[in-house]
């Protein structure tokens, strides 16, 4: 009986620990970003067990073509605010959150909107090494949305933009380009933000008309590749070779 109770207690603790590695933001479950720097558009591996969960960046694609980003504003709640505090040591953005006040401070969700442009850019010649890597590593995921805190002034700038893009500011460094009336009027470096949550997407592969293995889709973490496309590029190759016989 004692052993059974001890077992149940261990399982309970494990479930509690697992829950600490994610938060729900706007009905979407996001991983929490605490120890390692995370950026929108980077590629890496999600590692973890019931005690530790972390994302390790393994590839940083070069985005010479701008990728459109969707901006959504959300009010902080106690859970998201506490998660932000863990990521931004010392509350660097001086965000004042009070449970009892109706008016709550806001944060921003950035999501890579144009998946077609994203796939095309990853397949460009300047990303050859990245493409080779994700073909060989089916567990590699790409950060396609992030929750971040930034100053009220920068939130207002995002509000003023007609459209926002992700692109390179320098070698292996990303920025947001804010466009109004067809002109870029401001850029925001990710160093000016505090990312505290992120979601991952994964790659699907297929055979093209030239009998080559190419990117077919980028899907959400809990989704499955569509018919005749595969998370494992090697499986897509095996399928192609089978039909050659």
Within a 10 A sphere around the Cβ of 132, how many other Cβ atoms?
Answer: 11
Which residue did the predictor score with more confidence, 238 or 76?
76
Please tell me the distance from the alpha carbon of residue 127 to that of residue 41, in angstroms, as a whole number. 13
What's the pLDDT at 134?
Answer: 96
Q: 142 pLDDT band (50/70/90 cuts)?
A: very high
**Residue closest to 141 by CA, chosen among 56, 73, 66:** 56
Lowest mean pLDDT across 93-97, 172-176, 190-194, 231-235: 231-235
Question: Could you tell me if 25 and 197 are in contact, meaning their C-beta atoms sit under 8 angstroms apart?
Answer: yes
> Which stretch of 14-18, 37-41, 106-110, 135-139 has the lowest confidence by average pLDDT?
14-18
Mean pLDDT of the chain: 86
Over range 18-45, report the average pLDDT. 78
First to last CA, the chain: 60
Note whether 140 and 44 are within 8 A (CB).
yes
Task: Give residue-wise pLDDT tens across range 46-83.
Answer: 987 544 468 899 999 999 999 999 999 999 999 999 99
Decide if pLDDT at 41 tops 60: yes
pLDDT of residue 7: 42
pTM of the model: 0.85
**Domain-by-domain residue ranges, the chain?**
29-202
**Residue 8 pLDDT > 50, yes or no?**
no
* Between 14 and 89, the higher pLDDT residue: 89
- Mean pLDDT on 183-187: 96
C-alpha pair distances (Å), 178 with each of 19, 34, 54, 188: 35, 27, 30, 8
Distance of CA 211 to the CA centre of its chain: 31
pLDDT at 240: 57
Cα separation, 77 vs 197, whole angstroms = 14
CA distance 201 to 215: 13
pLDDT of 170 reads 85
The pLDDT value given to residue 3? 55
């Amino acid at each position: 009986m004692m052993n059974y109770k001890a077992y149940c207690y261990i399982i309970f603790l494990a479930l509690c620990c697992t829950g600490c590695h994610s938060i729900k933001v706007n009905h979407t479950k996001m991983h929490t970003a605490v120890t390692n720097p995370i950026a929108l558009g980077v590629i890496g591996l999600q590692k973890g067990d019931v005690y530790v969960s972390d994302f390790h960046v393994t590839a940083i694609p070069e985005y010479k073509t701008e990728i459109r980003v969707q901006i959504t504003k959300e009010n902080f709640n106690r859970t998201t605010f506490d998660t932000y505090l863990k990521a931004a040591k010392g509350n660097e953005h001086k965000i004042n959150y009070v449970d009892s006040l109706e008016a709550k401070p806001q944060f921003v969700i950035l999501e890579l909107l144009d998946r077609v442009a994203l796939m095309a850019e990853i397949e460009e010649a300047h990303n050859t090494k990245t493409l080779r890597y994700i073909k060989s590593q089916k567990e590699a995921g790409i950060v396609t949305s992030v929750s971040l805190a930034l100053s009220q002034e920068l939130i207002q700038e995002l509000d003023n933009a007609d459209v926002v893009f992700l692109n390179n500011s320098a070698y292996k460094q990303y920025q947001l380009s804010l466009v109004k009336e067809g002109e870029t009027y401001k850029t925001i470096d990710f160093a000016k933000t505090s990312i505290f949550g992120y979601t991952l997407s994964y790659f699907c592969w297929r055979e093209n008309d030239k009998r080559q293995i190419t990117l077919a889709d980028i899907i959400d973490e809990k989704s499955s590749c569509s018919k005749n496309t595969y998370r494992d590029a090697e499986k897509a190759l095996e399928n192609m070779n089978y039909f050659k016989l």
